[in-house]
Amino acid sequence: MKPVATKGAKPRDRRIVAADLFCGVGGLTRGLLDAGIEVVAGYDIDEACRYPYEHNNEPAVFRNRSVVNLNSEDLGKLYPADCWSVLVGCAPCQPFSRYTQGLDTEDSEKWGLLNHFGRLVGELKPDVVSMENVRELRRHRVFRNFLATLSYFGYQVSACDVYCPDYGIPQHRTRLVVLASRLGAIEIIPPTHGKGEYPTVESAIRDLPKLKSGEICSKDHLHRSSSLSTINRRRIKHSRPGGTWRDWPQELVAKCHRKRRGKTYPSVYGRMEWEKPSPTITTQFYGFGNGRFGHPEQDRALSLREGAILQSFPSDYQFVKPDGEYHFKTIGRLIGNAVPVRLGAVVGQTIMKHLENHV
């Protein structure tokens, strides 16, 4: 297929149009929209993403389709003539994550998804490409192949590790961001926050209504916390911000942590600290025993809304239809797997600045 048209109107007059692969609930899409980039469609195989993606990112449409079965003919139809074309995506990161290091993930079908991303770039040849993932991806051959594909098709490429607090995201999270352009060199914009300016757990969620474990906020049904077992209610009362299960009375310590191997895992059953960014929000952030996800003051784990806010989603972002059911496991997965919205906006601002420089 021929490259998307890039000749005709002056660059400043052209629409900047993007499609989002592996779009999830729209974290990256929302960020691009906030930066001023028009997003026409998002592709994902998880049907649970449809409502949050479309409801919060209108007029972008959700396509329940795998990139394996996607071709440049389909994608090419999304881009109007004489637009700046942008293709972005975050291939599923589970095979590359540090949480699976040491496990045999080579046979995971997800390994090939980044190759399909590269295939689509080669067929479509959009003006700008961006890919976000875990930084551990750098170690794998599939990543080197992806960069080689971009270079082969004439892209200038940059890849950097982005520490989220440097860009105003209240979360200790580092992500790998790849940017590539057919127009010339492209680099991510400079950090927007210094160390003394990092947003904190307090600045992000302190003002939300108080909850007890298992309680649902009447004004915002996403602001709900999971129930704690009797022993975990006792444990969290003995937990301090920034502490570990080692602070508990001996009778509350789990048997697995009393063993020599278990003593090396202190970063579970902990409370967050008001004055610092949160730990990395995983797909199980709603569980007190799944990490340092205890509320700094209230005797409960993070609510679903708090997790979404720490992922920099707007406080009114909707994940469930008005008459829908709230499943912690499903919503936790959608939120934890998302690209932080603010990081998406940084990518979008980088692309906007890059295109402005090519007027």
**93 belongs to the catalytic site:** yes
User: Of the candidates 24, 17, 74, 72, which has an alpha carbon nearest to the alpha carbon of residue 44?
Assistant: 24
Q: How far is CA 315 from the centre of its chain?
A: 16
In a domain, 6, yes or no: no
Residue 245's alpha-carbon distances to 29, 254, 297, 306, in angstroms, are 39, 9, 16, 23
Specify if 160 maps to a domain: yes
- Distance separating alpha carbons of residues 65 and 220, to the nearest angstrom: 31
pLDDT by residue (tens digit) across 142-186?
Answer: 999 999 999 999 999 999 999 999 999 999 999 999 999 999 999
Question: Which tokens belong to 190?
Answer: 């400079």
* Separation CA 249–CA 136 (nearest Å): 37
Q: What is the C-alpha to C-alpha distance for residues 191 and 18, in angstroms, rounded to an integer?
A: 24
Matching residue, tokens 């709900």: 224
Domain with residue 23: its CATH number is 3.40.50.150
Contact 49, 25 (CB under 8 A): yes
Q: Please report, in tens digits, the pLDDT of each residue of the chain (359 residues total).
A: 334 444 333 446 789 999 999 999 999 999 999 999 999 999 999 999 999 999 999 999 999 999 999 999 999 999 999 999 999 999 885 554 444 444 434 444 556 899 999 999 999 999 999 999 999 999 899 999 999 999 999 999 999 999 999 999 999 999 999 999 999 999 999 999 999 999 999 999 999 999 999 999 999 999 999 999 999 999 999 899 988 878 888 888 877 766 544 445 566 788 999 999 999 999 999 999 888 999 999 999 999 999 999 999 999 999 999 999 999 999 999 999 999 999 999 999 999 999 998 86
What is the rounded CA–CA span in Å between residue 295 and residue 340?
20
60 located within any domain: yes
Q: Given 93, 160, 217, 256, which residue is catalytic?
A: 93
Domain assignment present for residue 276? The answer is no
Looking at this protein, which amino acid is placed at residue 260?
A: R
What is the total count of domains within the chain? 1
Q: Is residue 64 part of a domain?
A: yes
Domain range holding 43? 11-196+340-356
Within a domain: residue 182? yes
Q: What is the C-alpha separation between 168 and 345, in angstroms, rounded? A: 11
Residue 9 phi/psi, 5-degree rounding, is: -65, 160
d(Cα 353, Cα 36) in Å, to the nearest integer?
Answer: 11
> 13-25, pLDDT tens digit by residue?
789 999 999 999 9
Asked whether residue 221 is domain-assigned, the answer is no
